[in-house]
Structure 1
Amino acid sequence: MSTMNVKASPGAEEEALRMKSKTLGESSHSGDVKKGQVILAAYVLLTLDLTFIFMQLGVVPYLAKSIGLDSVGFGYLQTTFGVLQLVGGSIFGRFADKYGAQAALILSCASGSVFFLLMSISTSIPLLFLSRLPAVFMHGLPGAQKVITDVTTPSQRADALGKLGLSFGIGMIIGSVLGGVLSTKFGVFAPTYVGLVGNLINTMIAMFWIPSQVKPKSDHHLTEHSTSQSGSVFSIREILRLMKFPGVMEVFIVKVFAGLPIGLFLIMFSIISMDFFGLEAVESGYLMSYFGVLQMVVQGLVIGKLTSHCTEMTLLKLSVFVFAGVGLGMALMRTVWHYCIIAVPLVFAFSTLGTITDSILTKAVPSSDTGTMLGICASVHPLTRTVGPTIGGVLYKHFGVSSFGYLQLIVNIGLFVYLLKTKIPLTEMKSQ
């Protein structure tokens, strides 16, 4: 009897191994499906979030005018929004690291609901300014990026983050059109009601579609050098510690300065489109839609393919080099058609720079600090919006449109030479 058991045991072991392999395969497939569903939920949530944001962007000037806010006051309103977003970006990132991506997205969507609720009752200037306060926690993009960084491997990250550009493009196009249609047919407050309901729906999506624990269990032990698990959410010292990781400060400086001149130009674009290009409001809307389509194509289709053939540092250098060429083109452009041609490399460089730097920086810090890093990255655009109107106004008034192009050219040539001559010491902190 014992002999029979001995003879049968190899077959039994083989069968057990086959069953184990099958179970692991099914578990892996199930994990991939769940991961795909979470990523899809993040894309849907961000698309809706950006749709509502762009919807109100087109309505706010008319709402402000209807309650007696002049152009100077409107500038203060925009600056207030930019400062709140700037201050809140890093705090939101710390919150995401301490409490998870789901909690952070719920906070963002709930803040969006309060934002649109206050806008819907803004019948006076103080109320309109008060409606900006929830913007400190309205960070749908870094929230979605946090989900992506938690569920993807480092090799997949740039492609997955790049595809978030599809959400941006769709939100820009639909939001801009929907805001105009709703305000024209149903009044200036109609988009705020839609935004309120939409953000409540987004809150439900975050609660039921995004798991409370997104990050793989294998990453939970990576707390060495972590800043997120210690200190307060509002600790500036803990946030700034991330800049001391190898290569982080260098890449972040490139991220800030490479796109700053074009950021100043885009802030002034509404005035430039009227004065320099001679466009009507409808034509400006078409131009914005054109930008949205370009961004969808570049981030949805181009960046993913490039990341599979080129290293991220190569793509970073390429984006800076293209930005320098864009600067030369902007310095020489004279008509809106010139700008439409320049827009192609401009969108490519802008999208590639943003995606690649976010990917590099989240890999350079511990997995427990990716939210904080994304929050810091998300503060770049609010910083530009805060200082942009003043600097951009001076450049445009005293030196004309070409000054933005020359500044773009000079800054990016300098950055390109810096990237060529400096070996940035990046250390990947993520588990594979």
Structure 2
Amino acid sequence: LYKSCRHSCKVCFILGYIQTASGAFQIVGAPLFGYIVQRSGIRFGLQLCYISTVLSAILLLLADDVTTLVLSRIPCVLMQSAQAHQALISLQTSPGQERTIAFGRLGLIFGFSFVLTPLLSMVAVSIASEQGPILLSSVLSLLPLLVLKLGVEQTSYESDASSNPAVTPLPENNGSDLYSVVRVLRRPGVLNVMFKKYAAHLPHILIVAVLQLHIVEQFQSTQQTGQLIQMIMGLCMMLSSGFGVMWLRKLFNEQALLFLGLLSFSVTYALFMVLYRLWVVFIILPFLAIGMSLVDTASDSLLTSLVSENEQGLILGVVASVFSLVRTLAPTISGYIIEKHGFSTLAIIGFMSTACGHAVMFLLPINENLLTKPKSE
């Protein structure tokens, strides 16, 4: 891309265009993927996810102009890795402590990838130049297919969902994906949990969209500084998801974990308000990691407990779709806010939004009876 464009501003414009296209495909794909899982099973959905990842890497490797770069983003429609694995964990665990701890372990792997990815990319570039990371990605994307084939047993709910009494049959008038989304959102407690999750998380996406640019402009940081921040964030995610969530879940239930996560986000946004020195970023990262781990793990565990078993993939898809939409619009929205009102305004928005989440926690707590109901309801 840099070779084909003479001006850096044109490169930035094209990169923004490609990122927008990727976000649009993710928005469309998240509920679609959930619907596919609901209809055809999680194993089929995982296979589509892995194959799409391999296809995207191959197309990106072959891309030589802007058009082919955009075409390489089309498989993003079904590249819903986090959603797919959360759905698989939901089917294999019971609501409550077991599922929350399992989600925490998934977060541990996510944090580990933050640390490992920059290291692997640097090694791949040193061996095979610019195309090294793409080649490595293509090869590594094949490994999950082997793990799925050899390490994940074919279960009864995959082979014959109709014979499993725990799975709720779909209504006969369910003729569209939109109907399924509306139905799952009307489940008691679902919108309540989603509001709390979004209240804490969405402002964070707005900040992250411009944080790197803000750090470069404000503190004249280098690429090495950005990589260091990413690696420290990964370490914090590993510790908070792999150990913090599991330890705290033994002491508190999911609603208490969600409250603690919102509290950690409040501290994070308060620190972002006073981001006048680069070292403040390294104080923010642990609180941000704890907030993300607790809010994501607890809310996803609650959401999958509030819906029937065959709707778990769909509700996770709806959640992912909203996040994809915000990530797509975040650079434009955040850039406008920074230009007009300054970076600290984003932090103030996050603090106020999280305060709304706290208010809902106290005023509209989730009925515990909804979390202990049988899956077939």
What is the distance in 1 between the residues matched to 2:125 and 2:157?
A: 41
- Equivalent residue for 2:327? 385
Unpaired stretches in structure 2, ≥5 consecutive residues: none
Change (3 A) 1:110 1:257: same
Change (3 A) 1:211 1:275: same
Alpha-carbon shift at residue 306 of structure 1 (Å)? 1.0
Alpha-carbon shift at residue 171 of structure 1 (Å)? 1.4
What is the distance in 2 between the residues matched to 1:305 and 1:377?
A: 26
Once the two structures are superposed, the pairs formed by residues 228-239 of structure 1 within 5 Å of their partners are 231=174, 235-239=177-181
Change (3 A) 1:305 1:272: same
- Equivalent residue for 1:103? 44
Alpha-carbon shift at residue 273 of structure 1 (Å)? 2.1
Pick one of 139, 144, 153 that aligns with 1:202: 144
Across the two proteins, how many residue pairs are aligned to each other?
367
What is the distance in 2 between the residues matched to 1:132 and 1:389?
A: 19
- For the pair 1:168 / 2:100, whether they are aligned, the reply is no
Query: Over residues 32-57 of structure 1, what are the superposed CA-to-partner deviations in whole Å (9 max), with x where a residue is unaligned?
Result: xxxxxxxxxxxxxxxxxxxxxxxxxx
Unpaired stretches in structure 1, ≥5 consecutive residues: 1-63
Once the two structures are superposed, the pairs formed by residues 219-368 of structure 1 within 5 Å of their partners are 220-224=164-168, 226-227=169-170, 231=174, 235-368=177-310
Decide whether the 8 Å contact of 1:246 with 1:364 is kept in 2.
Answer: yes
Matching residue's letter, 2:37: A
Alpha-carbon shift at residue 221 of structure 1 (Å)? 1.3
Larger radius of gyration, structure 1 or 2? Answer: 1
Worse overlay, 408-417 or 290-299: 408-417
Change (3 A) 1:430 1:197: farther
What is the distance in 2 between the residues matched to 1:214 and 1:222?
A: 11
What is the distance in 1 between the residues matched to 2:11 and 2:236?
A: 34
Once the two structures are superposed, the pairs formed by residues 119-198 of structure 1 within 5 Å of their partners are 119-155=60-96, 156-198=98-140
Change (3 A) 1:341 1:215: farther
Change (3 A) 1:129 1:214: farther
What is the distance in 2 between the residues matched to 1:191 and 1:109?
A: 17
Decide whether the 8 Å contact of 1:102 with 1:211 is kept in 2.
Answer: no
Query: Over residues 41-76 of structure 1, what are the superposed CA-to-partner deviations in whole Å (9 max), with x where a residue is unaligned?
Result: xxxxxxxxxxxxxxxxxxxxxxx3233362111111
Alpha-carbon shift at residue 97 of structure 1 (Å)? 2.3
- For the pair 1:87 / 2:28, whether they are aligned, the reply is yes
Change (3 A) 1:75 1:228: farther
Alpha-carbon shift at residue 252 of structure 1 (Å)? 0.8
Matching residue's letter, 1:408: G
Alpha-carbon shift at residue 213 of structure 1 (Å)? 2.3
Secondary structure in structure 2 of the residue aligned to 1:325: helix
Pick one of 400, 405, 409 that aligns with 2:347: 405
Q: Higher RCO, 1 or 2 (CA under 8 Å, sep at least 6)?
A: 2
User: Given the two structures, how large is their TM-score scaled by the length of structure 1?
Assistant: 0.80
Matching residue's letter, 2:166: L
Alpha-carbon shift at residue 369 of structure 1 (Å)? 1.0
What is the distance in 1 between the residues matched to 2:170 and 2:354?
A: 32
Matching residue's letter, 2:4: I
User: Given the two structures, how large is their TM-score scaled by the length of structure 2?
Assistant: 0.91
Question: Percent identity over the alignment?
Answer: 24
What is the distance in 2 between the residues matched to 1:229 and 1:419?
A: 36
Alpha-carbon shift at residue 314 of structure 1 (Å)? 1.5
What is the distance in 1 between the residues matched to 2:92 and 2:41?
A: 12
